[in-house]
Amino acid sequence: MEHTFDFLVIGSGSAGLTFALDVADHGSVGIITKKNRAESSTNYAQGGIASVIDANDSFESHYNDTMVAGSHLNDPEAVQMIVRDGPKVVQRLIDMGAEFTKDSGRLDLGREGGHSHRRIVHAADITGKEIERVLIQKAAAHPNIHVLEHHFAMELITEHHLGKKVTRYDDDKHCFGVYVLNTENNKVERVLAKATMLATGGAGQVYQHTTNPPIATGDGIAMAYRAKARVANMEFFQFHPTSLHLPGANSFLISEAVRGKGGILRNGDGEAFMKYYDDRQDLAPRDIVARAIDDQLKKSGEDHVFLDVRHLDSDEVKEHFPNIYKTCKSLGVDITEELIPVVPAAHYLCGGVATDLSGRSTIHGLYAAGEVAHSGVHGANRLASNSLLEALVFPRKAATSAIDYAAEAEIRKDIPEWDDSGTTNTEEWVLISHNKRELQQIMWNYVGIVRSNLRLERAFRRTKLLYQETESFYERTKVSVPLCELRNLIANAYLIIKSAAQRKQSIGLHYSTDYPPEETSHRDAEKITMV
């Protein structure tokens, strides 16, 4: 089976849907997405979108906060772009019907770590759901947009599939579409297009503990890397300080906005410990807070710290954080009366497919935006609530470029069908789940918040074994989503480990005991690790 579109979008989160809406007046658009269309990290976003709205705030202040959080490894132009476009993309969502929380008729602006002003636009604590709702609604109403749910993108199609050798360094490779597994009939289909947008989100599932939903398996980065695109800054994986820690419960984020409202981190002795680590205390950037918690846990031997909101007005807590209140209550914790047990968990990948300011990857016709991309916005650490902003701004720039590109490009007619000769259905499925679990543990234990050369070497050796075993299994087995996701997670782990080993300094989210941070100033730090 073959589908053809002028524009192909892989992923239906905020980045993919924004791009789709912006190109839709210029040709047919196919959005493929691996589950139902709402399932994405976007849908679970809590805190909100950072944007300069308040009259006392300024673009300069948002710019500075972003650069400071990113240890100045950010691309200044990319940061300028998201900061300046912030109010426009917020207004666009409102025009589409998004209902953000208001206070006395004006947008209620929340506060999060690293921000020197209140600037987080939010819809209570379910901002992502509201964004996803309006974007999906708008896309559904456009006659040119076709959504293929339960279609899993497996491999980007380039000259490689036409028998030509493609390398990472040549400048003459093109993307013609993607091979997808239709998970409703288990058939591999070709989706061909003039321009392709990769908007597959992050890779939190590479770690044992993550705030990310199960779809976040780094498929886009792995596919782009295999297709020989350049990938950058993969060592910068952000750990969110406050993921709910309750035995048996699924991972659940306790938004940073809770600390923005006055929530206080406490250790097992009840002590508010952040004062020992940073003047900004509970509202220091995430890398600092997550490392502080890690340090507290190592010192105490305990497995979690606490977030305390008992001193806040209980009606306000329920009003501002209805979903957090309800979820914790259903798990037996009334947050207005009890401490919330929390631990850091893998949350956001700052690195990804290297793009320019128009979202172009190093493969012609392949664009990337949102969490899958490395656009230069985040540097060594993402400022809170800047990722929805990036995912709403960059696809718009990419759309302008892709419209021009598609006007000149043609859909290839000579793409071969997927070749699965020599593969069989095997019974060894347990190998996939075991290898996935092992990989997640390796990454958590050796490539987590605090790293060292020794730990990275150990992680590399063990991941290589998993790679060899999984590739050999892949070569003789019919494709399936769990198998493809495992391969992709291993590729992401490899890229994270390799980039981490390349960066011989502690900066931002990459902290190595072999390179004390005081020896690294942002002036002598490498901007980008490219693989």
Residues forming contacts to ligand FAD in the complex (CB under 6 A) are 10-16, 32-35, 39-42, 44-48, 127-128, 152-153, 199-202, 211-212, 215, 219, 253, 348, 370-372, 385-388, 391
Token pair for 507:
């900066």
Decide if residue 257 touches ligand SIN (CB under 6 A): yes
Binding to ligand SIN (CB under 6 A) within 5-64 occurs at: 46-47
Nearer to ligand FAD, 210 or 463 (CB): 210
Q: Record the tokens describing residue 265, joined without a space.
A: 């981190």
* Candidate segments 67-75, 78-86, 360-368, 383-391, binder of ligand SIN by CB under 6 A: 383-391
Q: Which stretch binds ligand SIN (CB under 6 A): 7-15, 71-79, 250-258, 277-285?
A: 250-258
Question: From ligand SIN, ligand FAD, none, which one binds at residue 10 (CB under 5 to 8 Å depending on kind)?
Answer: ligand FAD
3-state helix, strand, coil in the chain (%, to 5): 40, 20, 40
Tell me whether residue 215 or residue 509 sits nearer to ligand FAD (CB atom): 215
Query: What whole-number distance in Å separates Cα of residue 79 and Cα of residue 525?
Result: 18
Mind telling me the catalytic residues?
286
Nearest to 219 by CA among 45, 357, 35, 38: 35
**CB burial class (10 A; 0-12, 13-18, 19+) of residue 140?**
exposed
Give phi and psi for 140, each to the nearest 5.
-65, -25
d(CA 225, CA 531): 9
Closer residue to ligand FAD, CB minimum distance, 378 or 455: 378
Choose the stretch contacting ligand SIN; rule: CB under 6 A; options: 96-104, 170-178, 249-257, 408-416.
Answer: 249-257
Q: Are 190 and 400 in contact (CB under 8 A)?
A: no
CA–CA gap between residue 307 and residue 325 (Å, rounded):
13
Minimum distance from residue 255 beta carbon to ligand SIN (Å) = 3
For residue 244, give the nearest of 124, 122, 127, 345 by alpha carbon: 345
- Does residue 2 contact residue 192 with C-beta atoms inside 8 Å? yes
68/300 with CB nearer ligand FAD? 68
- Burial of 469: CB neighbours in 10 Å, binned 0-12, 13-18, 19+: middle
| Shortest distance, position 463 Cβ to ligand FAD, whole Å | 21
User: Per the structure block, which two tokens stand in for 148?
Assistant: 């293929």
Total interface residues for ligand SIN by CB under 6 A: 9
Partner from ligand FAD, ligand SIN, none binding residue 477, C-beta < 5-8 Å depending on class: none
Q: Which of residues 86-105 bind ligand SIN (CB under 6 A)?
A: none
List the single partner that 267 binds among ligand SIN, ligand FAD, none, CB under 5 to 8 Å by kind.
none
Regarding 440 and contact with ligand SIN (CB under 6 A), the answer is no
Residue 234 or 372 with smaller CB distance to ligand FAD: 372
Site string for ligand SIN, 347-366 (x = CB under 6 A): -x------------------
* Residue 121, beta-bridge partner list: 49, 109
Residue nearer to ligand SIN on the CB measure, 362 or 385: 385
Residue 432 near ligand SIN by CB under 6 A: no
Q: What is the DSSP letter of 328?
A: H
Q: Which two tokens stand for residue 116?
A: 């020197």
Write out the binding residues for ligand SIN, residues 479-518 only, by CB under 6 A.
none
* Interface with ligand SIN (CB under 6 A), residue from 40, 255, 362, 463: 255
When CB distances are held under 5 to 8 angstroms depending on the partner's kind, the choice from ligand SIN, ligand FAD, none that residue 391 binds is: ligand FAD
Report the alpha-carbon distance of residue 175 to residue 226 in Å, rounded: 12
Q: Which run of H or E residues covers position 340?
A: strand 340-349
Instruction: Select the binding partner of residue 207 from ligand SIN, ligand FAD, none (C-beta < 5 to 8 A, by kind).
Output: none
Nearest partner of 406 among 197, 198, 196, 194, judged by Cα: 194
CB of 257 to ligand SIN, least distance (A): 5
- Report how far residue 222's alpha carbon sits from residue 381's, in angstroms, rounded to the nearest whole number: 22
Q: Are 489 and 206 in contact (CB under 8 A)?
A: yes
Is the CB of 127 or the CB of 463 nearer to ligand FAD?
127
Task: Name the site residues for ligand SIN (rule: CB under 6 A).
Answer: 46-47, 255-257, 348, 384-385, 387
